[in-house]
Amino acid sequence: MNIRPAQFTDMPDIMGIFDHARKFMRENGNPYQWTDGYPSEELMETEIRQGHCFVCENETDGVVATFCFSVENDPTYSHIEGKWLNEAPYGVIHRLASNGKAKGIARQCIAWCFARHHNLRADTHADNLIMQNLLKTNGFRECGIIYTRQSPRIAYQKVMDAAPSGFQA
């Protein structure tokens, strides 16, 4: 699996992945996330321009997934009903989606992001049980509720341990 920055030529694949993800969410008990054309082409073009959008590709299927990753303060994370694990600088994962053609995408994307920053945050809709499970399975801890566009989201954080297990001073 190759993860690389998205380019404008990837837009048809990216938007197709989001179409697939919306359909998958609706079929799996998550009818309220990513409605009203979200994420839009305009948003994704902005994410590409800012260097935040990435695609995952393999040799047999081409582009199979996309996600956004940035290392900057996300304004939607400034207020949380609950408590973040820390207030240190962090990386953010948003809009992780696949077209269903490859397995293990979430794990690989999260590992890729964690290799670039030791403190990650993410959020998802209360109905998105699949993403909640993926985040927890990949070491994220539930921290509370944040709000995006007036809609509540469950907030998660993953932090590299200060001392790896077996560490001796």
In a domain, 164, yes or no: no
d(CA 106, CA 65): 9
pLDDT digits (tens, 9 = 90+) for 84-127: 999 999 999 999 999 999 999 999 999 999 999 999 999 999 99
In a domain, 167, yes or no: no
Burial 16-31 (b: 16+ CB within 10 A, else e): ebbeebbeebeeeebe
d(CA 139, CA 157): 8
pLDDT digits (tens, 9 = 90+) for 38-53: 999 999 999 999 999 9
Based on the structure, what is the number of domains in the chain? 1
Extract the runs of DSSP E, i.e. beta strands, from the chain. Answer: 2-5, 53-58, 62-70, 81-82, 91-98, 119-124, 141-148, 151-159
In a domain, 115, yes or no: yes
In a domain, 14, yes or no: yes
Q: Which CATH number is 55's domain given?
A: 3.40.630.30
In a domain, 139, yes or no: yes
pLDDT digits (tens, 9 = 90+) for 63-87: 999 999 999 999 999 999 999 999 9
pLDDT band at 160 (very low <50, low <70, confident <90, very high): confident
Domain residue limits at 12: 2-159
In a domain, 103, yes or no: yes
d(CA 6, CA 162): 33
Listed in sequence order, the residues at least 6 apart from 83 whose beta carbon sits closer than 8 Å to its beta carbon are: 143, 144
In a domain, 110, yes or no: yes
pLDDT of residue 85: 97
In a domain, 169, yes or no: no
- For the entire predicted model, the pTM comes to 0.90
pLDDT of residue 36: 84
pLDDT of residue 149: 77
pLDDT digits (tens, 9 = 90+) for 3-34: 999 999 999 999 999 999 999 999 999 888 88
